[in-house]
Each structure stands twice: as structure tokens, then as C-alpha cells.
């Protein structure tokens, strides 16, 4: 190899190295399907996102695996849903991560709805934060701003990119919200009672004027008591609710009992805990599916 | 009892099967007619008044997915009566409006009930405005 060829190889290597340096990406590990989408939309080509919770996976039942811990350790930023969603493994995760890895519990940066003492059902019971903030578009807008600011803080070279992408995503969310309001307006306000398996739609209810009666609690692992099921059946009959929305996490015997006793039919399945296969592969698709299913079943 | 053991066994099974009929009737869930729901709904004559700050103006008001009122307004104030359910939870009206002017304009909608209670909401826009307006007696 002559001097000329050697120079060429050096130049090529230098160019490759420089390009790689310029294209350095923020590595994000996400423990939320919705946050994965936000990170991809806002981060664009400047960010690589590893989704540790997959679409359709129940985040309430998620167990931290050694493989996921390695992926989180190799990232620059770990995104969590927050509001207690990761409570069962958060301490282990924080202990195991290197100090250079930033952990951002996005939900903790936005206002919460709470459940418990304020309802007067169980006096003395501690209030629990409702972690299902993604079922409100306005909360998701706030989450987008939190993620954008995190990227801006980590990567000052691409601030304009992050701001432009976030602005575009926020505009899409506002358009989605307008569509939801128009679709929900097809349903009389006195028919907006949403009976669901687990209590995941309080943020949705607050935004669009629904009343929620949930069979399970805030998580999918809380079995309903007989008294609670009886009360739900009585409420469905009293309100004349046409349809109820059950998930496969609910004991099938309870599902059958409620539909048989109340006379309400099954209204279809909803994406309660984030993105999922089918219509729910995107946030907009998930929301449109849920709203269409609810409105068409309750009309 | 005399006779073939097979015949005896058959008689016992038949007797048990016959017993199942009254047993099933006694234990089956009682089929009661469903109780009437107590959802609040009352059809009321609702008076709608529309006032626009700019003309010409075209507006459409949609209620429960159906067009309630479409108008190419040539006067700034219009009113109509409609028989609609107005529950205590209120109603949502979807309003789409277009003005010829691109300057800031407003459309005010007033909903008046037979008991004299009136509620009003205003949309603002430049050229167009689209919004879902909620009218509740307790607001």
C-alpha cells in the first residue's frame, strides 16, 4: 500500500469517525409504551429508544429482568411512567444503574389524580396516586414537554430539532383531542357511565365528562369483593348502562356474573395500560379505538 | 326387589333423572324483569339564540351527532326553539362557524330553558372556529 492509498484510508477513517461523533444519539430506555412513542417522535434521528415494556404487556405485572436491567444500564436516560407504576422494582433499578444514567419518572412531573381517602369509602386508607395519566391527552401533552426538556438538557447540539419535533407532536395531540371531543359529543352526557375492569380511566373521565365504576382497583391484581361486585351490578341497573368494558385480567366468573346479572352487554376491549397490538400500535390509534368503542357501545 | 340387576339400576337412574327436574326448578335463578333505569332525561323546549360579531357568517350546530341548525346568517342575531333532552348533566353542542372576514370574530350561543335559566358560551376565531360547547344548568 503506497503513501497515497494510506492517506485515502486515513481520510475515510477520519470522516467516518467525525460523522459518528456528529450523529451521537441519546440512548433512551423506556418502561412505558406511550413514553417510547413520545421519545421517538420528539427525539427523531437524534435518539435511539429501547422499549423495555412491549405493546400489549401489562405494566402492572412487569418484572424487571437481568436483560432489561443491562439495557437500562447501557442507556443515557431511563424513562419511567412514575406515580407508583414502577414501585415494585424501582429501588432495585435505581440501585443497579450507574450514576451517569439519568432516571426520569415523567408522570411524577405532572399533576395527579388520587384515589383512596378522598372517596370516603375506606376511612384512614392512604391516598394512592392514579398512574394512568396517558389516558388523558392533556396529561400526555405535559409529558411530551417533560421529555423534550430532558432531551434539550442532555443534548444541547440539537435543541432546535427537539423543539420542532415536540411542537409537531403537540399539534397532533391537540388535533386528536378535538376529534375525541366531537366523537364523545355524540353520546348524551347522562349516558357517560364507564364500567371497566380495572380503574384505568379516571383521567379520561375527568377530561370528557364520564363517571367511572371499576370492578378492580387501580391495578390489575386486586380481586373485587363480593360486596363490590353486587354494588356495581346495582349501579349498572340503576343507571341503565348499556355496555361494560372488561379485560382478560378479570376473573372470567366475575365477568359472566356481572353481564348476566346486570343485563349489560360486553362493549368490547379497551387499551387501558398503554399501546398494544392492532389499532393501539400508536397513541392516536389507541385513543381513537378506545373512544370509538366506548361511544358506539354506550349510545 | 326382584328382577335383573341391570333393570334395577336403570330404574334408579331414571328416578334420579326425574328428581332433577323439580330440583332444577327449585334452584334456578329467578328471571325478574329488569328494573327501569333512573337515567335523568327530560325533553324540554330549548331556546337557542345566536349572535355573531361579523357578517356574512355560516354556522352549523350539531347535537348528538345530528345536525340541529345550519344557517347562512345575514343578520347578527338569530333564534330558534328545539325540543331536546336536557338532562341535569347538561348537553354538548358541536359548533362549526365560518366568517368571510379573516379578522377576529366571535359567535355567542345562548341556551335558554323553559324555567328561565339561561347559559351562554362564545367561540372566537379568524375565518373559522370549531368547538364542542357544554351547557350545564349548574355552571
pLDDT score recorded for residue A249: 63
pLDDT digits (tens, 9 = 90+) for A14-43: 444 444 444 569 999 999 999 999 999 999
What is the reported pLDDT for A115? 74
Beta bridge partners of A265: A243
- How far is the C-alpha of A142 from the C-alpha of A170, rounded, in Å? 9
Say what the pLDDT of residue A14 is: 46
Q: What is the pLDDT of residue A16?
A: 45
Q: Does B87 sit within 8 Å of A192, measured CB to CB? A: no
CATH code, residues B43-135: 2.60.60
B40/A190 Cα distance (integer angstroms):
7
What CATH number has the domain spanning A24-179?
A: 3.40.50.1980
List per-residue pLDDT tens for chain B, 139 residues long: 556 777 888 888 887 777 777 666 655 544 444 444 555 556 788 999 999 999 999 999 999 999 999 999 999 999 999 999 999 999 999 999 999 999 999 999 999 999 999 999 999 999 999 999 999 998 7
Q: What is the pLDDT of residues A230-248, one digit of tens each?
A: 999 998 998 899 999 987 6
d(CA A234, CA A195): 12
Share of chain A above pLDDT 70, in %: 86
Are B50 and B59 within 8 A, CB to CB? yes
Question: Lowest-confidence range among A54-58, A146-150, A166-170, A243-247?
Answer: A243-247
Higher local confidence (pLDDT), B37 or A192: A192
Question: Which of A263, A201, A206, A205 lies closest to A232 in space, CA to CA?
Answer: A263
For residue A260, what are the contacts with CB-CB under 8 A and spacing of at least 6? Answer: none
Tens-place pLDDT, residues A115-158: 754 444 455 556 789 999 999 999 999 999 999 999 999 999 99
Contact A238 B88 (CB under 8 A): no
Residue A178: list chain B partners with CB under 8 A.
130
B95 beta partners: B61, B131
Nearest CA-CA distance, residue B37 and chain A, Å: 4
Residues of chain A with CATH 3.40.50.1980: 24-179, 187-298
Q: Spell out the residues 6+ positions from residue A250 whose beta carbon is closer than 8 angstroms to its own.
A: A197, A198, A215, A216
Q: Residue B67 is placed in which grid cell?
A: 345536525
Q: Do A187 and B64 touch (CB under 8 A)?
A: yes
Q: Which of A256, A260, A193, A194 is nearest to B38 (CA)?
A: A193
Q: Ranked by mean pLDDT, which of A11-15, A97-101, B79-83 comes out on top?
A: B79-83
Q: Which chain A residue is nearest to residue B66, measuring alpha carbons?
A: A186
Architecture of domain A187-298: 3-Layer(aba) Sandwich (3.40)
ipTM reported for the complex, 2 dp: 0.79
Whether residues B132 and A181 touch (CB distance < 8 A) is answered with yes
Q: Which residues of A touch B62 (CB under 8 A)?
A: 185
Shortest CB distance from A189 goes to which of B35, B62, B89?
B89
Query: Rounded to an integer, what distance in angstroms lies between the CA atom of residue B112 and that of residue B135?
Result: 10
Answer whether A259 touches B (CB < 8 Å).
no
Tell me whether residue A57 is exposed, middle or buried, using C-beta atoms within 10 angstroms of its C-beta: 0 to 12, 13 to 18, 19 or more: middle
Q: Check residue A203 and give its pLDDT.
A: 97
A181 contacts on B by Cβ (under 8 Å): 132
Q: Cβ B39–A191 below 8 Å, yes or no?
A: yes
Residue corresponding to grid cell 324483569: B33
The predicted pLDDT at position B15 comes to 79
What pLDDT is attached to residue A117? 42
Residue ranges per domain, chain B?
A: 43-135
Amino acid at each position: 500500500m503506497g503513501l497515497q492509498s494510506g492517506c485515502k484510508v486515513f481520510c475515510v477513517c477520519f470522516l467516518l469517525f467525525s460523522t459518528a461523533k456528529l450523529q451521537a444519539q441519546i440512548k433512551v430506555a423506556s418502561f412505558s409504551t406511550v413514553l417510547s412513542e413520545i421519545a421517538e417522535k420528539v427525539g427523531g434521528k437524534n435518539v435511539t429508544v429501547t422499549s423495555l415494556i412491549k405493546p400489549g404487556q401489562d405494566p402492572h405485572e412487569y418484572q424487571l429482568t437481568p436483560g432489561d436491567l443491562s439495557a437500562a444500564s447501557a442507556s443515557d436516560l431511563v424513562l419511567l411512567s412514575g406515580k407508583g407504576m414502577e414501585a415494585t422494582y424501582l429501588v432495585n433499578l435505581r440501585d443497579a444503574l450507574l450514576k451517569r444514567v439519568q432516571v426520569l419518572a415523567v408522570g411524577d412531573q405532572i399533576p395527579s389524580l388520587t384515589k383512596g381517602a378522598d372517596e370516603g369509602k375506606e376511612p384512614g386508607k392512604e391516598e394512592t396516586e392514579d398512574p394512568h395519566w396517558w389516558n388523558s391527552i392533556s396529561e400526555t401533552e405535559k409529558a411530551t414537554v417533560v421529555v423534550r426538556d430532558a432531551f434539550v438538557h442532555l443534548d444541547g447540539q440539537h435543541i432546535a430539532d427537539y423543539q420542532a419535533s415536540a411542537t409537531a407532536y403537540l399539534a397532533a395531540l391537540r388535533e386528536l383531542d378535538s376529534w375525541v371531543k366531537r366523537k364523545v359529543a355524540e353520546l348524551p352526557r347522562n349516558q357517560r357511565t364507564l364500567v371497566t375492569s380495572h380503574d384505568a380511566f379516571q383521567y379520561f373521565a375527568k377530561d370528557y365528562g364520564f363517571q367511572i365504576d371499576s370492578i378492580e382497583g387501580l391495578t390489575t391484581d386486586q380481586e373485587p369483593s363480593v360486596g363490590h361486585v353486587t354494588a356495581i351490578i346495582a349501579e349498572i341497573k340503576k343507571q341503565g348502562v348499556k355496555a361494560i368494558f372488561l379485560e382478560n385480567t378479570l376473573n372470567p366468573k366475575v365477568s359472566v356474573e356481572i353481564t348476566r346479572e346486570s343485563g349489560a352487554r360486553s362493549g368490547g376491549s379497551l387499551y387501558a395500560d398503554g399501546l398494544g397490538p392492532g389499532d393501539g400500535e400508536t397513541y392516536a390509534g389507541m385513543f381513537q379505538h378506545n373512544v370509538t368503542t366506548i361511544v358506539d357501545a354506550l349510545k | 326387589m326382584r328382577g335383573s340387576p341391570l333393570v334395577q339400576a336403570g330404574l334408579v337412574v331414571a328416578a334420579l333423572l326425574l328428581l332433577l327436574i323439580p330440583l332444577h326448578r327449585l334452584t334456578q335463578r329467578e328471571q325478574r324483569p329488569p328494573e327501569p333505569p333512573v337515567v335523568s332525561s327530560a325533553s324540554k323546549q330549548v331556546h337557542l339564540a345566536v349572535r355573531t360579531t361579523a357578517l356574512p357568517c355560516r354556522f352549523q350546530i350539531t347535537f348528538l351527532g345530528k345536525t340541529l341548525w345550519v344557517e347562512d346568517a345575514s343578520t347578527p342575531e338569530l333564534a330558534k326553539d328545539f325540543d331536546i333532552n336536557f338532562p341535569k348533566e347538561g348537553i354538548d353542542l358541536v359548533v362549526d362557524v365560518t366568517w368571510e372576514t379573516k379578522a377576529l370574530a366571535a359567535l355567542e350561543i345562548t341556551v335558554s330553558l323553559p324555567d328561565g335559566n339561561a347559559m351562554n358560551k362564545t367561540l372566537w376565531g379568524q375565518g373559522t372556529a370549531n368547538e364542542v360547547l357544554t351547557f350545564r344548568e349548574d355552571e
